[in-house]
Structure formats: structure tokens, C-alpha cells
């Protein structure tokens, strides 16, 4: 989120943030805790979809189907996860600050760049997600939609299809935001940190934030294939599950790898300095 009193227009190096950041900033201005609004949005979506399924006889009245609930809440969950991560960026970077070799101005820029994905790439990623969702909905997964109790009647098709495509738009934005975050971690570790091998604790700060993101992806992804009867026989579901699990693993391991690389760089530089001193003596 933008720092109080500072907007991109007042600093040429601060690009316009994407719609995800603007959404987060609007939610943060509301009086209740942010998670209340995501919970309310999820309940509203599940309520409308459940009423449709009960009305058309897809499900017995008052009953629920876990894979359908997961599908209904996927977009809201992705937004809530991104919101949670964005809120924790300032705290994580503050814990890293003892290892940073930058002044307050550069620190403020690092904070902004790490927490804000730029508007145009986020828009492109959202559009790409919408296209992927439309292709999956109308082609790759259409024969298997009844497995998830989706698109079982004309009314259901309109609601489920719209929700499906919008969800993939949100996932597209979320994927780009994660890539932007990982690239920011890479730049911070390799260009802006001063590693003290005797006090490495501050360097774990960003790894902890990435671990939270990876866990959030993995925990929501696995039930799709675990609790849906016959899902393991649907190639599109298996491939998508593997892709998201790979993404969760990448989000978890990349910051740790950058931390190791930063320590290795420091150790190598120290060895070279000692070697030069020894040669000179």
C-alpha cells in the first residue's frame, strides 16, 4: 500500500500501481478489519450459487459440495491472500532493515516497489487470465464441468461461466503480482543488502513472507484434486494442479535461494579480500 501522503504523481520513480493495489487501498479505508469484507463477499457468492443449485435441483436443498465451494471462493481467496501479503510487506522489510545498506530515501523506494505491482503489466496479466478462463470454460474443461456441478442448467451456465472467467482474471493478476514480488526480493538480496554471516536473522524476513504465500497457494490448491470424485482422471485438472503446486514451490524456494546466493557472494568477497591482504603482506 502507498505510504501516507505519498502518491505516484509526486515521485517520477513511483509508477502507477495496478488495480490490485488500488483495491487493497480502498478496503483498508473501510472501518472493519479487511478480512470481514472478503468473508462477506465469499458468503454472498456462495449464497447466490447455492440458491441456483438448490433451485434447479443440482444439489438437494441445504446441501453443499466442497469442490463447488472451493471454486466459488477461489477469486475472493486469491484477492484476500494478495491483500494479506501486501499488508505485511512494510513489516517484513523493516525486519530486514538492519541488513540493508541503503539510506531512508532508497528504503522508501524499495518498499514501494516491493509492495506495488505496476498498472499496465497487471492489466495485461488480468486480460490473459480472462482469456485462459474463457478457453478452459468453453473448450478444455467443458466436458468435465458436471464433475464440479458447474453449468448444469442455462441459469447456472451464465453465473458459473461468468464467475469462472472472472476468477481466472484475478488469478492472472495474482500470478504477475507474485512474480513482481519475487523479482523485487531478488534485487534486494543481490543489490541492496549487506550480509553479516554472524547475524543472518534479518535476512529471513522476506523468506517468511514468501513462505506464507506459498503455503496459501498449496493449501487451497490440493483439495481440488483430493476431494473431487474423478478429478484425477481429468487431464486439465491434473495439469493445473501441478502448475499451481510448482508455483507454490517456486515462491517458497526462490527467496531462500537468493538468501544463500547473497551469503555466498559475501563469503567469496571476504575470501578474496583476505587473499589480497595476504599477498600484499
pTM of the model: 0.81
The Cα 271–Cα 273 span in angstroms is: 5
At residue 8, the pLDDT reads 47
| pLDDT higher than threshold 90 for residue 43 | yes
The Cα 94–Cα 152 span in angstroms is: 50
Which tens digits make up the pLDDT trace of 98-144? Answer: 777 777 888 889 899 999 999 999 999 999 999 999 988 888 777 77
Q: What is the mean pLDDT of the chain?
A: 81
Q: What's the N-to-C CA distance of the chain in angstroms? A: 53
pLDDT (mean) for 194-208:
63
| pLDDT higher than threshold 90 for residue 169 | yes
At residue 41, the pLDDT reads 97
| pLDDT higher than threshold 60 for residue 265 | no
> 85 near 23, Cβ under 8 Å?
no
- DSSP state, 34? H
At residue 201, the pLDDT reads 57
Which tens digits make up the pLDDT trace of 218-227? Answer: 888 877 777 7
Amino acid at each position: 500500500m502507498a505510504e501516507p501522503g505519498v502518491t505516484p504523481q509526486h515521485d517520477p520513480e513511483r509508477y502507477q500501481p495496478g488495480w490490485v493495489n488500488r483495491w487493497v487501498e480502498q478496503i483498508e479505508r473501510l472501518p472493519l478489519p479487511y478480512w470481514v469484507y472478503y468473508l462477506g463477499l465469499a458468503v454472498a457468492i456462495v449464497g447466490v450459487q447455492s440458491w441456483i443449485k438448490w433451485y434447479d435441483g443440482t444439489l438437494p436443498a441445504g446441501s453443499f459440495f466442497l469442490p463447488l465451494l472451493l471454486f466459488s471462493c477461489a477469486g475472493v481467496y486469491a484477492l484476500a491472500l494478495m491483500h494479506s501479503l501486501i499488508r505485511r510487506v512494510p513489516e517484513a522489510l523493516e525486519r530486514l532493515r538492519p541488513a540493508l545498506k541503503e539510506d531512508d530515501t532508497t528504503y522508501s523506494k524499495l518498499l514501494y516497489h516491493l509492495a506495488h505491482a505496476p498498472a499496465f503489466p497487471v492489466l495485461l496479466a488480468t486480460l490473459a487470465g480472462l482469456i485462459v478462463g474463457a478457453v478452459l470454460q468453453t473448450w478444455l474443461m467443458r466436458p468435465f464441468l458436471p464433475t464440479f456441478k458447474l453449468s448444469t442448467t442455462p441459469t447456472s451456465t451464465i453465473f458459473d461461466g461468468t464467475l469462472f472467467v472472472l476468477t481466472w482474471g484475478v488469478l492472472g493478476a495474482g500470478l504477475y503480482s507474485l512474480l513482481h514480488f519475487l523479482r523485487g526480493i531478488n534485487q534486494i538480496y543481490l543489490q541492496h543488502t549487506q550480509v553479516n554471516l554472524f547475524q543472518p536473522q534479518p535476512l529471513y524476513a522476506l523468506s517468511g513472507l514468501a513462505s506464507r504465500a506459498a503455503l496459501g497457494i498449496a493449501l487451497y490448491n490440493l483439495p481440488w484434486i483430493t476431494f473431487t470424485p474423478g478429478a484425477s482422471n481429468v487431464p486439465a485438472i491434473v495439469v493445473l494442479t501441478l502448475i499451481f503446486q510448482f508455483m507454490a514451490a517456486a515462491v517458497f524456494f526462490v527467496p531462500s535461494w537468493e538468501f544463500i546466493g547473497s551469503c555466498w557472494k559475501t563469503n567469496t568477497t571476504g575470501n578474496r579480500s583476505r587473499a589480497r591482504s595476504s599477498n600484499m603482506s
